Amino acid sequence: MRRGIKLLVMITAVALLLAGFYAYLELTHPRCETVSVFRAKEMIDTDPSLVILDVRTEGEYVEGHIEGAINIPLEELEQRLDELDKERGILVYCRSGVRSERACEMLIEGGFRKVYNMEGGISAWMSAGYPIVARVKRSVIIFIFDHFLNAIYLTDKLSYINPFSGPRYFRWNCFAPF
């Protein structure tokens, strides 16, 4: 009986020691918390001080990003850490979650405490049906402008020609050299 009590006391002491050590590690060595896109959306909606950090390339960022996100590509993050506020929470994302994990490690090493990695990245965000902001590329605008001018020009010359299928010599082309 006494042996059983001694064993129980020893197991309890070891468990308390491990719990204390784990709590110490949590306080002195913060880690990145991985959150789902649903939790990330909730955080964005409820915390106006949250920094949304997109660590993809500028080209990927232009194609579509979360509204209010700032873009610091992973390759530049270490040199640009001073642009971020260490006191605010930071939600990090990339395309699928791999680069954002590395970015979270850099942020933690840089002294940031409240760092969250959005699981699945922008791909999961879009799959969940959440909105993104995308800039229209200049070439798309020029394409639309080109066809608009062709429609005006061709309508002036002929009664009706579809500007997308008319003869090539009738078309004004903004990509042609002047």
Report CA-CA distances (Å) from 89 to 23, 84, 104. 21, 10, 12
Residue with tokens 């915390």: 47
Q: What is the C-alpha to C-alpha distance for residues 56 and 73, in angstroms, rounded to an integer?
A: 5
Decide: helix, strand or coil at residue 53. Answer: strand
- In 77-89, which positions are buried (b, 16+ CB within 10 angstroms) versus exposed (e)? beeebeebeeeeb
Q: What is the C-alpha to C-alpha distance for residues 103 and 150, in angstroms, rounded to an integer?
A: 48
Q: Which residues are catalytic?
A: 94
Query: How far is Cα of residue 165 from the mean position of the Cα atoms in its chain?
Result: 40
